[in-house]
Amino acid sequence: MAGSLPKAGSRWSLGRPLDFRHGRVEMSHGAGGRATTQLVETLFQTALGDMGTQTGDDGAVLPPLAPGERLVMACDGHVVSPLFFPGGDIGCLAAHGTINDVAVMGARPLYLTASFILEEGFPLADLQRVAVSLGRACRDAGVAVVAGDTKVVERGKGDGVFIATTGVGALPAGRNIGGRQARPGDAILISGTVGEHGLAILAQREHLQFASEIVSDTAPLHTLIDALLAAAPGVHVMRDPTRGGLATVLNEIARQSGVGIDLDEAVIPVRADVAAACELLGLDPLYAANEGKVVVVVRAAEADAALAALRAHPLGRQATRIGTVIEDPQGFVQMRTRMGGRRLVDWLTGEQLPRIC
Amino acid sequence: MAGSLPKAGSRWSLGRPLDFRHGRVEMSHGAGGRATTQLVETLFQTALGDMGTQTGDDGAVLPPLAPGERLVMACDGHVVSPLFFPGGDIGCLAAHGTINDVAVMGARPLYLTASFILEEGFPLADLQRVAVSLGRACRDAGVAVVAGDTKVVERGKGDGVFIATTGVGALPAGRNIGGRQARPGDAILISGTVGEHGLAILAQREHLQFASEIVSDTAPLHTLIDALLAAAPGVHVMRDPTRGGLATVLNEIARQSGVGIDLDEAVIPVRADVAAACELLGLDPLYAANEGKVVVVVRAAEADAALAALRAHPLGRQATRIGTVIEDPQGFVQMRTRMGGRRLVDWLTGEQLPRIC
């Protein structure tokens, strides 16, 4: 009988408010009922400005692209440890990583989805910091978080928070940038110093103290790339050297395009503190991760224009030409060393730095 | 000097082949170097037919949608435990869950991205089973896996494999289906029996033995939905009752649309074995998860046509009209019970069944 129903007004209450100062993630936050809705509405939607779940529907409906524009999609799981590090955290990293994967295809990043996998007991205050950081990074980049999901696993079956993101962008008609486009004679540029993200994570994880704190370079690259492409439409390849670093990305491109690459070690920009830390730890900065740099392969005739455009942008001030694409069906990456010798720059083998992103 | 380079031919080798019978996931498989490439190329690309990573680029470039079509995006993290269960596994579940979230918006599912978060030590044989299952589910649904990512966390920091998927679909011009569209007088249909997925997982997890094995209903719903919308263009809302079950989904719709819902318990289809298992375990099948069912809210005048279309499809043979949308600004879901009384059907509270999907 209707008389047994709760009083009017009680219906919309989602239970006692979340305690953002002392509360922790509970299994019920992932069960799909009242507690999940409460977490989504009071924490995630506030932080992310989520279009998708604000309607409460299973998916987000988005406007059509402009005529002729193609879709670009990229995805990334983020399991960085520690979650907070100098220069950033897993939230902004998850945004930047996927925005950059879309941008290096030459596309304008538009939308992001974010799946959170939380460990029972994770502090809500930390979750809020992470979500706010992800939301801010997306807003700063003009990217809308359009759908999200939250799951919770038992204590000891996860590690605080993992975030998987997928990005969608719009690629203008006629633009064709990708790892197979490198041609002998092309110039190879890097937009700045290498290795900061990897060394910042490692220093934090191992509680290493250096004279100056090494800060992650995590940043969204799409405005830098816009400026680059306006000045140098003859860009053949772009890629952000994240896991595996500059050396691995150059090997990937060489293999994809069936070309060789000739590098000049002396001009590859490395900050003095990163170089010193690498020396101490026996690491090679060429294999350390970056989260705010882009490798550019461009027609030689446009190399100077491309460099000038990169250097005119705050994220590209130390852009440098570091090498040349050469003919080599074997796809070797080789380097003239600082000592004047030559050596092969191979793929990353093994696990130099696990859980770097 | 070039003389110090490895012999021709050795360059393309990615190391010793993966041992798919006895091998296990290692930290190096997530480090972004040679081992990651090997895992992607020999396991994932074979299983998934991945367009995105087969080019080796950071993102996948996809053709434009037809004029007037809008994008629909949905995402889901999958942490189901156990990973293999009667009727499916985390691989096909990850595909179906996201395909269905796109389909219930009225969109044609097109593309999927998949991020795998693996625990060190997870058997490669199990990973291959999961990836093959995900790939097959997508191919069967005509959905292309266009981008993927693999990360590895240390033993004890994950739980075998988690998979986060994002789906993209195309929504025809003029179609407007969503949780805010329910109107008093609309009929409420369910496409079949409820609770199988939840009970199949629970029985497996708790090693319960019933007279007959309860099998998950996991399935892609887009062809069922196609048939439904062709017969009944006046569908206002569709939603797949996964976590939280039928009861939670109806509460969400009532709240979104600002309406009440009146259910008839006696006609809600529940398999006898599911009902018996629920009785034994003290669970309510209305809150148990489904992975191959859809709740439909449709104009009353089209209810019969909608039911007939559902019943003509293999996945909808037991489709039933279970209730009616009524006026109620409080958004209550109420039910006439089998005993003839009335009760409130509230949101799922707490954690009836954690890690069900």
Domain limits, CATH 3.90.650.10, in chain A? 187-344
Total Cβ atoms within 10 A of residue B71: 24
Min Cα–Cα distance to chain B from A272, Å:
25
Q: Is the peptide bond before B233 cis (omega within 30 degrees of 0)?
A: no
Span A234-245, pLDDT tens digits: 999 999 999 999
Nearest CA in chain B to A107: B61
Interchain contact, A151 vs B79, CB within 8 Å:
yes
Q: Is the pLDDT of residue A13 over 70?
A: no
- Residues contacting A187, CB < 8 A, separation 6+: A297, A298, A299, A300, A303, A306, A321, A323, A324, A325
Average pLDDT estimate for B83-91: 97
Fold of A187-344: Phosphoribosyl-aminoimidazole Synthetase; Chain A, domain 2 (3.90.650)
Q: Are A323 and A264 in contact (CB under 8 A)?
A: yes
Short-list B154, B151, B103, CA closest to B127: B151
Min Cα–Cα distance to chain A from B24, Å:
15
Q: How confident is the model at residue A193 (pLDDT cuts 50, 70, 90)?
A: very high
Burial (CB count within 10 angstroms: exposed 0-12, middle 13-18, buried 19+), residue A207: exposed
Min Cα–Cα distance to chain A from B165, Å:
8
Span B4-16, pLDDT tens digits: 333 333 344 556 7
- Residues contacting B212, CB < 8 A, separation 6+: B273
Min Cα–Cα distance to chain A from B56, Å:
7
Nearest CA in chain A to B153: A355
Domain limits, CATH 3.30.1330.10, in chain A? 27-58+66-171
| Coil/strand/helix, residue A167 | strand
Q: Where in chain B does DSSP place strands (E)?
A: 60-62, 70-78, 84-85, 88-89, 108-119, 144-153, 161-171, 187-190, 235-239, 260-264, 295-298, 320-326, 333-336, 342-344
The phi and psi torsions of B70 (rounded to 5 degrees) equal -105, 155
In this predicted model, which residue has the larger pLDDT, B246 or A58?
B246
Percent over 70 (pLDDT), chain B: 93
Q: How confident is the model at residue B50 (pLDDT cuts 50, 70, 90)?
A: low
The position carrying tokens 């919770």 is: A152
Distance CA B23, CA B30 (A): 15
Q: Is the pLDDT of residue B200 over 70?
A: yes
- pLDDT of res. A83: 97
Interchain contact, A151 vs B69, CB within 8 Å:
no
Total Cβ atoms within 10 A of residue B211: 8
DSSP string, A197-256: HHHHHHHHHTT---SS---------HHHHHHHHHH-TTEEEEE---TTHHHHHHHHHHHH
Crossing angle of the two packed helices A272-281 and A196-205, in degrees rounded to 10: 50
Residues of A in Cβ contact (< 8 Å) with B342: 1-2, 4
Distances from the Cα of B23 to the Cαs of A118, B123, B157, B163, in angstroms?
28, 6, 20, 20
In this predicted model, which residue has the larger pLDDT, B30 or B55?
B30
Residues of B in Cβ contact (< 8 Å) with A30: 79, 351, 354-355
Q: How confident is the model at residue B251 (pLDDT cuts 50, 70, 90)?
A: very high
Q: Is the pLDDT of residue B207 over 90?
A: no
Total Cβ atoms within 10 A of residue B314: 8
Indicate the residue of B31, B73, B75 with minimum beta-carbon distance to A244.
B31
Residue from B34, B75, B246 whose CB has the most chain A CBs within 10 Å, to mutate: B75
Distance CA A30, CA A27 (A): 6
Out of 3.60.110.10, 3.40.50.300, 3.30.1330.10, 1.10.10.10, the CATH code matching B27-58+66-171 is 3.30.1330.10
Tokens standing for residue A120:
């029972």
Span B118-142, pLDDT tens digits: 999 999 999 999 999 999 999 999 9
Residues of A in Cβ contact (< 8 Å) with B239: 57-58
Interchain contact, A4 vs B148, CB within 8 Å:
no
Crossing angle of the two packed helices B222-231 and B303-311, in degrees rounded to 10: 140
Percent over 70 (pLDDT), chain A: 93
Min Cα–Cα distance to chain B from A286, Å:
12
- pLDDT of res. A157: 98
Average pLDDT estimate for B149-177: 96
Distance, C-alpha A302 to centroid of its chain: 27
- pLDDT of res. B352: 62
Tokens standing for residue A141:
């980049």
Q: How confident is the model at residue A352 (pLDDT cuts 50, 70, 90)?
A: low
Average pLDDT estimate for A59-77: 91
- pLDDT of res. A6: 31
Task: Report pTM.
Answer: 0.94
Burial (CB count within 10 angstroms: exposed 0-12, middle 13-18, buried 19+), residue A290: buried
Residue from A75, A96, A118, A291 whose CB has the most chain B CBs within 10 Å, to mutate: A75
- Radius of gyration from C-alpha coordinates of chain A: 23
| Coil/strand/helix, residue A303 | helix
- Residues contacting A183, CB < 8 A, separation 6+: A236, A257, A259, A299, A325
